[in-house]
Structure 1
C-alpha cells in the first residue's frame, strides 16, 4: 500500500479519539522509529509503499493506540531534555513541565558549578529523567537518585547507560527514611501529588496506563511527600542548600506556607508553559 494512503487511513481511524494534529504526530513518530523515514522523505518520495509485513507492524501499534495506550509505551521510548529515555508501564512518561524544572536547576547553578562539584539527589526518580539530565548537563556533578520501585530503578539504570552518565541509584521508601546519611548541595523531587479528587481531570490514557504509585496521594494529606522531603532536607542540606520541587498546580499557596514554617528562605514559585503553578525552589536557612 502507498504510505500516503495508509497515512490517511491511520489518521482517520484515530481522529474519533485524538485530534487530527495529535494523530498525525503519532504517524510521523512511528514512521521515523519503525521505518527510519522522516516527513521530508515522504514529501520527496510520495510513491513510497509499505510491504504487507510493514502494514502488519503498523496495525499492531494502531490497535492499542485506539485503546488510548500511550504511544511512548508502544514505542518503548521518549525524548526528554534532548535525551532518549526508555519508558514502560513501571515509570511515568516524562513531561515537558519537568524539563522546565531541570532547566531551572541547570541555569541556577551554572556559575556555582565552576567553583565546586555539586552533589545532587533526585527523590522519586522513576525513569531517571531528572537525575540523568542533570548528570548530563552539569559536568562533574555527583548525582544520586532514589525510588521505592525496584522495577523503576532498573529502567532508570538502563537510561543512565543509554545516555552515558554515572548516577548512583538507591532503592528506598522515602516516607520511611529518617536520615539520608550524607549532605547534598541540591535535593530535587517530582513526587506523587495528584489527589484522588482530581482523577476526573486526568486523561484516560494516563489514568489507565501509568503507575498510580507515582501519581496519586490521599486527599487528606496531599503534601505528605513534600513535608517528608523538606524534613530530610533540613538535615541533609548545608546552609543555603537548594530544594526544588515539581508541585500540584492547585497547592502553590500551601507549599509556600509549608516551606516558610520549616525555615526555608528565598522561596520562589514558578508557572509552567501552560500557565499553571508547577515549580518551586527554596534555600535552607541555617
Structure 2
C-alpha cells in the first residue's frame, strides 16, 4: 500500500478504489467500498451524496495513506473518523469506548415509547452516552442519569452531552457493586446495554471488534453470562419506584435464561422483543 496515494491529482473515484483495494483482505468488496466512501467524505469535509455526485473532483486531503493504514490494520471506521451516528445524531467515539450499534437504537426507541411520562431514568454503562443523550433530548421533562466505570467512557460521554446540549447527570459507578449507593434518587426506569458476549466468542469475532473495541464493555465469563444483568436487577429492587422497569439489550441466545433470572429476582411482566434481524435482543421487565 505504501505510496498508493502519492500520485498528484488523485480523484475521489480513484481514491475510493485504492482504499477499497487496501481493505479487501478484511471486508467483502461492497463493505470495503462503503467504508472507503464514508472515510473519504469525512476527510474531504463533504456529505456523502456530494462526494458521490462528483467522483472526478480532486482529493484535497493529505491523510489518505495514514488513514488507510489504520483501516487496513483493522481499526474500526468509527474510531478512524472519530464519530458514530446514533438515532440521527453524531456521537464522538474513541478507542476505549464501545461503538454504538443499530440494535441499541431499537432498545432506545422502545424506552422512549414506553417511558414518555417518566420522571427519572438511568442509563447503566453509558459508554459514549448515546442512550442517555437520546433520552434526555427526547424527554426534556425527565431527569436522565448516566453511569459508567471507565474513565475513558466518562470523558467521551461528558463531551457528547456538552456538544449535543443534553442535560444528563453523569456519575462514576460500578454496576456490579455500588450502583444504588451512587444513585440514591428513585428511578422509574433503568436502561442498560451491559457486557454480554461470552468470552468463548472472542476468537470468532471480526478483528475490528476483537483487537480494537474495549473488551470490558463487551465480554463476560462463560460460566456467568448474566453477571451484569443480575447485578443491575438486584440494584433495581432498591432503586426503582413500584412498577418501575428494567430495559436491557441482551445476547440473543440467552433470552430464556433472562426470563428465568428476572422472575427469580422478583420482576414480572417480562417481555422479549426481536431486533430487525429477527433475533431476541431486547427485554423489559417490571418490578412488582
TM-score (ref. length: structure 2) = 0.91
Match of 2:210 among 207, 210, 215: 207
CA–CA separation in structure 2 for the residues paired with 1:32 and 1:145: 32
**Residue in 2 aligned with 1:96?**
102
Per the alignment, residue 197 of structure 1 pairs with 200
Map 1:163-202 → 2, pairs under 5 A: 163-177=164-178, 179=180, 180-202=183-205
Looking at structure 2, the residues matched to 76 and 40 of structure 1 have their Cα atoms a distance apart, in angstroms, of: 20
User: Can you list the C-alpha shifts for 1:223-249, whole angstroms capped at 9, x where unaligned?
Assistant: 111111101111111111111001111
Structure 2 residue runs without a partner (length 5+): 1-9
- Cα offset for 1:40? 4.0
Which piece of structure 1 moves more, 30-39 or 201-210? 30-39
Q: How many residues align?
A: 277
1:161 and 1:5 mapped to 2: Cα distance? Answer: 38
8 A contact 1:269–1:281 mirrored in 2: yes
Match of 2:15 among 6, 9, 23: 6
Task: Provide closer, same or farther for how the CA distance between residues 178 and 21 of structure 1 changes in structure 2, counting only shifts above 3 A.
Answer: closer
- The alpha-carbon deviation at position 27 of structure 1 amounts to 2.2
Runs of 4 or more above 4 Å deviation: none
- Counterpart mapping for 1:59-208 below 5 A: 59-110=65-116, 113=117, 118-177=119-178, 179=180, 180-208=183-211
Q: Deviation at 1:101?
A: 0.2
- Computed over aligned residues only, the root mean square deviation of the Cα atoms, in angstroms, reads 1.6
Cα drift, residue 36 of structure 1: 2.5
Paired with 1:139 and 1:103, the residues of 2 have a C-alpha distance of 16
Q: Distance in 1 between matches of 2:265 and 2:77?
A: 41
| CA 123–39 in structure 1, closer or farther in 2 if over 3 Å, else same | closer
Say which SS state the counterpart of residue 257 (structure 1) adopts. Answer: helix
Tell me if structure 2 keeps the 8 A contact 1:118–1:186: no
Query: What are the Cα deviations for residues 83-107 of structure 1, in whole angstroms up to 9, with x where unaligned?
Result: 1111011210000000000000011
Does residue 235 (structure 1) correspond to residue 238 (structure 2)? The answer is: yes
Residues 35, 234 of structure 1: alpha-carbon distance in 2 compared, 3 angstrom cutoff: same
Deviates more, 1:1-10 or 1:218-227: 1-10
Which residue number in structure 2 is paired with residue 19 of structure 1?
28
CA drift at 1:140: 1.6
Q: Secondary structure at the match of 2:96?
A: coil
